Amino acid sequence: MKPEWQVWAKEAKEEFPRANSALMPLLHRIQLEEGWLSDATIADVAQLMGLPVQYVESVVSFYSLFHQQPMGKKVVHVCVGLSCALAGSDELMHHLEQRLGIKEGQSTADGAYTLLEAECLAACDKAPVAQVNLRYVGPVSPDDATQLLSEEVTS
Amino acid sequence: MSIRHYLLRNRDVRNIDQIDVYEAHEGYVALRQTLKEYQPDELVAMVKKSGLRGRGGAGFPTGMKWGFLPNDGRTRYLVVNSDEAEPGTFKDRELIEENPHQLVEGIIISSYATRASEAYIYCRGEFRRGAEQLRRAVQEAYDHGYLGKHILGTEFSLDLKVYRGAGAYICGEESALLESLEGKRGNPRLKPPFPAVAGLYGGPTVVNNVETICNLPPLVTYGPEWYTSMGTEKSPGLKIMSVSGRVRRPGNYEIPLATPLRTLIEEYAGGPIPGRTIKAVIPGGSSVPLLMPNQLDTPLDYESVIKAGSMLGSGGCIVLDDQVCIVGATARLVRFYREESCGKCTPCREGTYWMTDVLERVEHGMGQNSDLDLLSDVADNIAGKCFCPLGDASLGVLVSALKHFRHEFEAHVAGHGCPMGARLYDTVNH
């Protein structure tokens, strides 16, 4: 457990004092720093929140944006919703897989990229749309896959 | 065609997301007027008179929803549903990313009307910029005395907090949203009790959609007669329609309700891609049945779209043209519900899984004729049998596609594959 996590837990509980409302804000904040939520992190959060480890695990595993494996420095989400599919998102995903030499759901060996599917990202006017570390990029035609990977983004 | 915008009126104003610019464009004037001229009950009466209906999808009358709050002295909560994730819908994202103060002002007015002393914005986890914009706008509103204790020197106090989800469509369902806001898995709750009686932290709670709340500032400024001057008697006012798919100008368009679907597609969104014809339209988000080309004159108001066999829903209008494979498109949409089913109840969890499986094998040429009846059978075992609306939502496009395009499904079986080459996407325009 990192010392600042105790401060963050206190701040989250002050902002959201009731029920377990502080839990998700705390998980978000720690994941932003750590990149993912390991079993050890989950156990630490459980301790900070005064909750059973199983409870925290059950919450973490419910939500697709809480990651239980190490993530690449750039997490690329490709929207695979219908409007994006109509504009070429499957081809975009295919190009990205080729370019990175990995399959959807995997990370590159050097830890630079993770490639994931996203359900409709509510940006169908930018189809096909992607997110890099949850920042929108789009429209990204399949041929622009390489450019997407070099996109400068804040972590 | 002249387009008069209200909720989107400042979309071209630079830095409208900054409070000074927002104030320079009459921002927070409606709030000042509210606190000066209206008692909370008068405001509820005004919203009832305006006929404003919930813009998240269900179209429930907003004033009536507010009226359900019991008068028992408990702390009341206003929760704003910004978990926009219905495929084809992207209006709330624009509203919060581009003009967050409009929403914040609407929340303060709505909280005053409902006598809520705490308000929350539940922001979809994927909306990273949206959440940042909202947090900054909320802080600016505190700094300018629009939030906190004794707002603008009155007796009214309000705290507003931004809470981020973490990726779950089901949290757009209001009771699942409340569970998530309490730090739990986003499983829907049994209703009744409804949130008005036992919502957030067990207290009386109103849950409203972003667009619904954004209607409040103009409603105060222009009055309920302005609202009822547009649309129909039962569906008055304005709706933001998100148009996507095979049109020339995808985007958000604010229309007076009862504007014909054809006008939305042809005039606002620029019509289909040249040389193509419209095959079918999903008018209100991925959960609603298809409308056919001979129904393009359907007025876009809640009643008329129901009469035409579909729903206005969230206003996410996806246009499919003659190059789109209906089986592939349906498979894609049903797969979404499989991915997003929370798994709590069996018909939804297993049904969406099997329907996706069968649809994908038909699309890829491994289907049999009996698969069409199998799909209908599974759909029957979902319809009306699920714990929350997600299961039923997975059926809208599928059931109407089987009805209108059965020949396409049969052609996939007979030809052992997709006659269009198993591609949703074609390269003509790219």
Report pLDDT digits (tens) over B241-275. 999 999 999 999 999 999 999 999 999 999 999 99
Q: Measured between CB atoms, does B166 come within 8 Å of chain A? A: yes
Instruction: Assess if residue A133 is contained within a domain.
Output: yes
Which of A20, A88, A119 is nearest residue B430 as measured by Cβ atoms?
A88
Chain B residues within an 8 Å CB radius of A127: 244, 250
Question: What is the reported pLDDT for B429?
Answer: 38
Alpha carbon of A110: minimum distance to chain B alpha carbons (Å): 25
Residues A55 and A32 in one domain: yes
In a domain, A83, yes or no: yes
Q: How far apart are CA B43 and CA B35, in angstroms?
A: 10
Question: Both A46 and A79 in a single domain?
Answer: no
Query: What per-residue confidence (pLDDT) applies to B430?
Result: 35
How far apart are the C-alpha atoms of A148 and B154, rounded to whole Å? 51
CB contact under 8 A, A122 and B89: yes
Measured between CA atoms, how close is B167 to chain A, in angstroms?
5
| Residue contact B332–A121, C-beta within 8 A | no
Q: Which of A82, A104, A136 would best serve as a mutation to test chain B binding (most B beta carbons within 10 A)?
A: A82
For residues A50 and A114, membership in a common domain is answered with no
From the list A22, A59, A121, the residue facing B184 with the nearest CB is A59
| pLDDT of the residue at B200 | 98
Q: Return the residue in B122, B159, B240, B332 with the most chain A beta carbons within 10 A, the one to mutate for interface testing.
A: B332
Segment B347-357, tens digit of pLDDT: 999 999 999 99
Amino acid at A61: S
The reply to whether residue B87 touches residue A89, judged by beta carbons under 8 angstroms, is no
Q: Which residues have a Cβ under 8 Å from the Cβ of A14 and sit 6 or more positions away? A: none
Q: In this structure, what DSSP letter does residue B174 have?
A: H
**How many angstroms separate the CA atoms of A94 and B423, rounded?**
13
Residues of B in contact with A25 (CB under 8 A): 163-164
Contacts with B183 from chain A: Cβ below 8 Å = 16, 19-24, 59
* CB-based contact B166 A23, cutoff 8 Å: no
Question: Topology of domain B19-228, per CATH?
Answer: Rossmann fold (3.40.50)
Do residues A82 and A132 both lie within one domain? Answer: yes
Kindly tell me if the per-residue pLDDT of B422 is higher than 80.
no
Report the CATH number of the B326-414 domain: 1.20.1440.230
Quick check: helix, strand or coil at residue A54?
helix
Query: In this prediction, what percent of chain B has a pLDDT beyond 90?
Result: 96
Q: Is A32 an 8 Å CB contact of chain B? A: no
Whole-number pLDDT of residue B336: 97
Per-residue pLDDT of chain A (155 residues; tens, 9 = 90+): 999 999 999 999 999 999 999 999 999 999 999 999 999 999 999 999 999 999 999 999 999 999 999 999 999 999 999 999 999 999 999 999 999 999 999 999 999 999 999 999 999 999 999 999 999 999 999 889 888 998 776 65
Residue A69 lies inside a defined structural domain of this protein? no
Q: Find the helix packing angle between B346-363 and B406-414, rounded to 10°.
A: 60
Q: Which residues of B touch A77 (CB under 8 A)?
A: 126
The total domain count for chain A is 2
Distance from CA of A122 to the nearest CA of B (A): 4
* A40 and A80 co-located in one domain: no
Q: What confidence score (pLDDT) does residue A152 get?
A: 72
A101, A129: one domain? yes
Counting every residue written for chain A, the total comes to 155
| Interchain contact, A24 vs B126, CB within 8 Å | no
Going along B223-378, which residue ranges are E strands? 238-245, 251-256, 278-282, 316-321
**Domain stop point among A40, A62, A84:** A62
Average pLDDT over residues B388-397: 96
CA of B324 vs chain A CAs: smallest distance (Å): 8
The interface predicted TM-score of the complex, written ipTM, equals: 0.97
The token pair at B41 is 């009950």
User: Would A107 be classed as within a structural domain?
Assistant: yes
Which residues 58-117 of A are in CB contact (within 8 Å) with B?
A: 58-59, 62-66, 77, 80-83, 85-91
* CB-based contact B251 A125, cutoff 8 Å: yes
Distance in angstroms (rounded) separating the CA atoms of residues A17 and B357: 44
User: What range defines the domain where residue A134 resides?
Assistant: 74-150
pLDDT number for residue B42: 97
Given an 8 Å threshold on Cβ–Cβ distance, is A118 in contact with B164?
no
* In contact, B150 and B156? CB cutoff 8 Å: yes
For residues B205 and B76, the answer to whether their CB atoms sit within 8 Å is yes
Q: Does domain B238-321 have CATH number 3.10.20.600?
A: yes
Last residue within a domain, chosen from A62, A83, A99: A62
Give the CATH number of the domain where residue A25 resides. 1.10.10
Band the pLDDT of B425: cuts 50, 70, 90: low
Query: Does residue A145 contact residue A92 with C-beta atoms inside 8 Å?
Result: yes
| pLDDT of the residue at B168 | 97
Same domain, A38 and A81: no
Gyration radius from chain B CA atoms: 22
Mean pLDDT of B169-195: 97
pLDDT confidence band for B132 (50 / 70 / 90)? very high
Q: Which structure tokens are listed for B372?
A: 């069409």
Indicate the SS3 state at residue B380.
helix
B428 interaction partners in chain A (CB closer than 8 Å)? none
Whether B93 and chain A come into contact, CB under 8 Å, resolves to: yes
Domain definitions of chain B by residue range: 19-228, 238-321, 326-414
What element of type H or E holds B77? strand B77-82
We report the CATH number of the domain holding residue A133 as: 3.40.30.10
The 10s digit of each residue's pLDDT in B32-65 is 999 999 999 999 999 999 999 999 999 999 999 9
Quick check: B246 and A86 CB within 8 A?
A: yes
**Contact state of A142 with B169 under an 8 Å Cβ cutoff:** no
Rounded to the nearest integer, the mean pLDDT of chain B is: 96
- Rounded to a whole number of angstroms, the CA Rg of chain A reads 17
Q: Is B287 helix (H, G, I), strand (E, B) or coil?
A: coil
Domain presence at residue A155: no
A15–B90: do the CB atoms touch at under 8 Å? no
The residue whose two tokens read 């409340």 is B178
Contact A122 B93 (CB under 8 A): yes
CA pair distance B142, B45, nearest whole angstrom = 28
On whether the CB atoms of residues B83 and B177 are closer than 8 A, the answer is yes
Average pLDDT score over residue span B107-111: 98
pLDDT tens column, B313-323:
999 999 999 99
Q: Which of A18, A19, A28 sits opposite B164 (nearest CB)?
A: A28
Chain A nearest CA to B407, separation (Å): 21
Residue A145: its chain B contacts at CB < 8 A?
Answer: none
- Taking residue A120's Cβ as centre, other Cβ atoms within 10 Å add up to 30
Confidence at residue B58, expressed as pLDDT on a 0 to 100 scale: 92
Q: How confident is the model at residue B4 (pLDDT cuts 50, 70, 90)?
A: confident
Asked if residue B402 lies in contact with residue B395, where contact means CB atoms within 8 angstroms, the answer is no
Residue B244 backbone phi and psi in degrees, to 5: -150, -175
Question: Which of A16, A82, A91 is closest, CB to CB, to B87?
Answer: A82
**Contacts A119 to B, Cβ<8 Å:** 85, 87, 169, 336, 339-340
pLDDT of residue A6: 98
Final residue of a structural domain among A42, A62, A82:
A62
Which chain A residues contact residue B85 at CB under 8 A? 119-120, 122
Based on the domain organization, do A90 and A110 belong to the same domain? yes
Contact A122 B128 (CB under 8 A): no
Dihedral (Cα; B133, B139, B140, B143), 10-degree rounding: 180
Q: Do B329 and A19 touch (CB under 8 A)?
A: no
